Amino acid sequence: MLPGLGATSQLSVSEASRAILLSEKSKSTRDALMNDEHHKISEATFTDYFPLPVNTEPHLRAALDSVLNNPGSFVRPQIVAKMFAAYDLPPAHATELGLALEYFHTASLLFDDLPCMDDAQHRRGAPCIHAEFGEAEAILAALALVNRAYGLTWKSVFGCGRDRQARALEYIERYLGVGGLLNGQSMDINYASVHAANSPRTDHTVTEAIAMGKTVSLIRLTLVLPGILGDASPAELQLLDRVAICWGLTYQIVDDLKDLLQSSAESGKTVARDISMGRPNIALAIGVAGAVQRLQRLINIGDRMLDRLVALRPGVAFLQELRVQLDAEAAEIIDNACESAAPVPLQGAA
């Protein structure tokens, strides 16, 4: 049983072990998505869509080369490509928007890792950009990514019908701006002062509000924005939004648990930052067991929303395959939790 787990918990080691068996299925699912030639976006595409002028200052060029040659999993561009296909939108504009979201996400990581933010040292198994090239170059590289992302976003949106452009652009501004990603980041770095005045239960609410800004915003753009561009019905857009919320909060809980339970080598980035810097972490707010139970509940709610969505729009059934990845992510971190030898204290506990 999980360390510190109460008698009312429904989680057991056997359940976690059974869940871990989904990992290989998840890997094959992601590999299949990535290797679908019709939707494939490669590392070469990631760099090709970001051409650097010949007169780019050498330090900035080096920083950007480092970023572009160490990309993420490309899951967002792959999802966008298939969402565009589901709504009969032009594939070329899917590539533009998918890469734009990947650039936005990567820029947010560069900012997040800065000493004035999370002060991380490693990301994606390599030194953070600020650690290798300095803070100034990291900031400039992040701004370059944002600039390029907006350029590609405009091209994609303006190629998908004028009647939907205004709604799409308003949606982008909302979730990348002070109503979404930026607000979540500000809440994150000022969390310690907020936490000091709140109870653990309130901290749980604040923690999820921060995740809604920082994590859910980009997942909303990945799922809902193609629906807006494809003139999805109000019911479809609502279900896409709910799936995005459930999946975004799930990924944040997994990330929070990894920060507490995994080593930097296992996670590929600097860990234990939340507890050392007084940052929001759902497992610190409600305990590891509570966080795992919350994770499982969010996955279950997301399943119900996704089933209803597929009934309305069969073309998005591929999302059910991606859902398997959530099982694997959850199973891995549950397994870590079950092996942990010591309970993690609640925030606010004496």
* CATH code of the domain containing 55: 1.10.600.10
Q: Which is it for the CA torsion 210, 214, 215, 218, positive or negative?
A: positive
What are the CA-CA distances from residue 306 to residues 39, 216, 301 (Å)? 22, 16, 9
User: Which tens digit of pLDDT belongs to each residue from 129-184?
Assistant: 999 999 999 999 999 999 999 999 999 999 877 889 999 999 999 999 999 999 99
Whether residue 223 contacts residue 243, with contact meaning beta carbons closer than 8 Å, is answered with yes
Structural domains counted in the chain: 1
Of residues 292, 239, 232, the one with CA closest to residue 261: 292
Q: What is the pLDDT of residue 123?
A: 87
Whether residue 171 contacts residue 239, with contact meaning beta carbons closer than 8 Å, is answered with no
The range of the structural domain enclosing residue 142 comes to: 13-339
Write phi, then psi, for 35 (nearest 5 degrees): -95, 5
Q: What is the pLDDT of residue 195?
A: 63
Q: What is the pTM of this model?
A: 0.82
Q: What is the pLDDT of residue 267?
A: 58
Residue 208 amino acid letter: E
- Whether residue 200 is contained in a domain is answered as yes
Q: Degrees (nearest 5) of the Cα angle 251, 252, 258?
A: 90
- Whether residue 4 is contained in a domain is answered as no
- Whether residue 346 is contained in a domain is answered as no
Q: What is the pLDDT of residue 279?
A: 80
Residues in the chain predicted with pLDDT less than 70, given as ranges, are 1-44, 194-203, 263-273, 276-277, 326, 329-350
- Whether residue 214 is contained in a domain is answered as yes
- Whether residue 96 is contained in a domain is answered as yes
72-97 per-residue burial string, b: 16 or more CB within 10 A, e: under 16: eebbbbbbbbbbbbbbebeeebbbbb
- Whether residue 5 is contained in a domain is answered as no
Token digits of residue 83: 């969402």
Whether residue 41 contacts residue 322, with contact meaning beta carbons closer than 8 Å, is answered with no
Element (H, E) at 310: helix 282-312
CA distance 158 to 135: 35
DSSP label at residue 213: I
Of residues 162, 186, 182, 189, the one with CA closest to residue 274: 189
Place of tokens 């989680």: 11
For residue 54, give every residue at least 6 positions away whose Cβ sits within 8 Å of its Cβ, in sequence order, or none: none
Other beta carbons less than 10 A from residue 115's beta carbon? 13
- Whether residue 347 is contained in a domain is answered as no
- Whether residue 241 is contained in a domain is answered as yes
Q: What is the pLDDT of residue 280?
A: 84
Rounded to the nearest angstrom, the gap between the alpha carbon of residue 207 and the centroid of all alpha carbons in its chain is 15
Q: How many CA atoms lie within 13 A of 2 on its CB side?
A: 28
Write phi, then psi, for 184 (nearest 5 degrees): -60, -40
CA distance 212 to 337: 24
